[in-house]
Amino acid sequence: MRTHAMERNALIAGATAMGLVVLVSNIAVGYPINDWLTWGALTYPLAFLVTDLTNRILGAAPARRVVYVGFAVGVLLSIVFADLRIALASGSAFLLAQLLDIWIFDRLRRQSWWKAPIVSSLIASALDTAVFFTAAFAFTALPWVTWALGDYAAKLAMAALLLAPFRAVLAALPVEWRQSETTRA
């Protein structure tokens, strides 16, 4: 049986994971792999996994709470440990993209188990990439357009790869949590 304490713990775990993903990604984006890709492209898609699992298990409203807390924690930590422009660009892109992800996921949640996480991640990642790379690197000499294209391609690949852990976490849930996975609003 699900209890209030279990749901609270799930929200705390989700918000903590989200803050850490944002911080690590904001640091990692400062380390390009080449002119087409940064390390942030390999870490940031985990934010969509956290959001989508929270949305599937607890619903859209708790997923938004995880995003708001993750946003605050991630931006505050990023201001301390990453470049200010990156922290602000990331916060803006993160908030817009994650809220879009939740909205799309919620609309598709009653379809095949894979459709909501893949479609919401692909569309929200496009918004995130466009907003982040423009705000973080426009008017610099850095190859930000190619980074954006490469990072988006990596995010597409990561979204596909993260379907397996998404499904595995859902399968590992207690039965009473799984029964509501397609009916929560």
Write down the pLDDT at residue 138: 95
pLDDT tens sequence across 79-137: 888 888 988 998 999 999 999 999 999 999 999 999 999 999 999 999 999 999 999 99
Write down the pLDDT at residue 178: 59
Q: Which amino acid makes up residue 87?
A: A
- Whole-angstrom Cα distance, residue 48 to residue 55? 10
Q: What does 74-130 look like in DSSP terms, one character per residue? A: HHHHHHHHS-HHHHHHHHHHHHHHHHHHHHHHHHHTTS-TTHHHHHHHHHHHHHHHH
Checking if the pLDDT of 177 tops 80, the result is no
CA geometry: angle at 80 spanning 78 and 85, to 5°?
55
Write down the pLDDT at residue 185: 44
**What's the number of CA atoms in the CB half-sphere (13 Å) around residue 29?**
32
Tell me the pTM: 0.89
Shortest CA distance to 31 belongs to which of 22, 20, 21, 42? 42
pLDDT tens sequence across 7-36: 888 889 998 999 889 889 888 988 889 989
Write down the pLDDT at residue 71: 87
Q: Which residues contact 8 (CB under 8 A, 6 or more apart)?
A: none
pLDDT band at 1; cut points 50, 70, 90: low
Q: Which residues contact 63 (CB under 8 A, 6 or more apart)?
A: 14, 51, 54, 55, 102, 105
